[in-house]
Amino acid sequence: MKKVAVLGGGPAGAFAAEQLASAGVETVVFDEKLAWEKPCGGGLTYKAYRQYPFLIQNDTPKKLITETVLAAPGAGAVSLRLTEPLLIYSRFDLNRMLLERAERAGARIEKARVLGMERHGDRWYLRTNNGTLDTDFCIVATGARNPLRDVGTQLTADDAMAALGYYVPGQQEQVDIQFLPRLEGYIWVFPRCGHLSVGICGKGEPASSLRKRLEDYMREKGLSAKGASFYSHLLPSLETAAWKKNRVAGEGWLAVGDAAGLVDPITGEGLYYAMRSADLAAKALLSEIGTLTDKLQAYRRMLRRDFAADLEFGSRLAKRIFLGKFLFGTVPSRMVEFTRRSPRFSAIIQDLFAGTQPYIGLKRRLMRNLNGSLYEILMGMGLSRLLPGRSPVR
């Protein structure tokens, strides 16, 4: 493979281009906007910068957040100290940093919209608004609104969340997460450099109704939508069945990031998976193994082993987490109460926020800690007599 075209220069496309160009592959990136303020919270977890330390070790402006406040109806709010901070970037800055890295590694970056792709023999002919280009291989990184219908994941309405919000002038030091009644989703307030990104994501509910929920919340919190710019986008949130038949590669192409549906179906985290899938894609393409078909098979296997199996498992938990009941209350409200009263439970939630607690294994860890957590909760409520002489199981 001599020449690779990367369609889309967001985090997935830019990072794939950097890896390939560094290995000496002729790489061209097409993006219709280049660096832009893509609608996004811009939050990067510890998992992301532990894997790719340059994400924290750089001069690009970003906020380091060490406190998250979780709130749920009927349970009030609880503050969670993050032992590993959350990084928050503006997407313009993050995208620019990643595109510059790709360019420094030797990739050619072209501001152009890809209008179509045709395959003749074993080559692609790409049509852009600047002309045509032929290439050996295409990496599809066009995001959740991928306009190229024959490549990438096939998102249905059931496999996506609406996500919308406002960039509000203002400052605060903590991240706020608010769960809402009967919503498979949540509201967030992310402090960024110079403003707040206030947004909501939700599945199975029209955008107009999500917007109303968000504006009600903002009014209650004294966050004015007046003069704040509005944003909305799509967030892949694959159902379990869709994970099983997810179209991530085909003849002469593979897809990365949102264009491959690689987003956490519970938290909506997509930036790490965009970069990780780009990294795995480059590793598969650059590997010495067999034919191109073998490399694509290797990419599918690497994705599954690295994180896709875990996200698929997460898709089975999503409804239970947002809409389920536990001990006569909703799961989100119990989560807030348990976090408030049990240091053990709080540590589990911290790890979920840092991205270091996989969904596979979560139930086992919760069960292992259940006795201890309940002990801590009853002690905290002054009800230790209900556990006479018992010390928590470790």
Name the residues that contact ligand FAD, by CB under 6 A: 7-13, 30-33, 38-43, 113-114, 141-143, 147, 163, 199, 233, 235, 257-259, 263, 268-272, 274
Alpha-carbon Rg for the chain, nearest whole angstrom, is 22
Query: Whose Cβ is closer to ligand FAD: residue 43's or residue 252's?
Result: 43
Q: How far is the CB of 197 from ligand FAD (least distance, A)?
A: 8
Nearest-angstrom CA–CA distance, 309 and 303: 8
Query: Whose Cβ is closer to ligand FAD: residue 147's or residue 343's?
Result: 147
Query: Whose Cβ is closer to ligand FAD: residue 165's or residue 374's?
Result: 165
> Hunting for tokens 């911290």 — which residue is that?
350
Q: How far is the CB of 283 from ligand FAD (least distance, A)?
A: 17
Q: How far is the CB of 355 from ligand FAD (least distance, A)?
A: 9
Cβ-proximal residue to ligand FAD, closest one: 270
* Closest C-alpha to 186, from 195, 196, 176: 176
* Closest C-alpha to 117, from 252, 1, 218, 27: 252
CA angle 324-325-329, nearest 5°? 135
Query: Whose Cβ is closer to ligand FAD: residue 267's or residue 373's?
Result: 267
Question: What are the helix and strand counts (H, E) for the chain?
Answer: 11, 19
Q: How far is the CB of 288 from ligand FAD (least distance, A)?
A: 27
Query: Whose Cβ is closer to ligand FAD: residue 32's or residue 100's?
Result: 32
Query: Whose Cβ is closer to ligand FAD: residue 175's or residue 374's?
Result: 175
Q: How far is the CB of 386 from ligand FAD (least distance, A)?
A: 41
Nearest-angstrom CA–CA distance, 204 and 265: 13
Tell me, what DSSP letter sits at residue 220?
Answer: H
Read off φ and ψ for residue 232, nearest 5 degrees. -150, 150
Q: How far is the CB of 4 from ligand FAD (least distance, A)?
A: 15
Q: How far is the CB of 253 from ligand FAD (least distance, A)?
A: 14
> Hunting for tokens 């480059």 — which residue is that?
282
Query: Whose Cβ is closer to ligand FAD: residue 128's or residue 350's?
Result: 128
Sequence-ordered alpha helix ranges (H) in the chain: 11-22, 46-51, 91-105, 207-221, 240-244, 271-286, 292-303, 309-323, 331-341, 343-354, 362-380
Q: Which two tokens stand for residue 86?
A: 């959350």
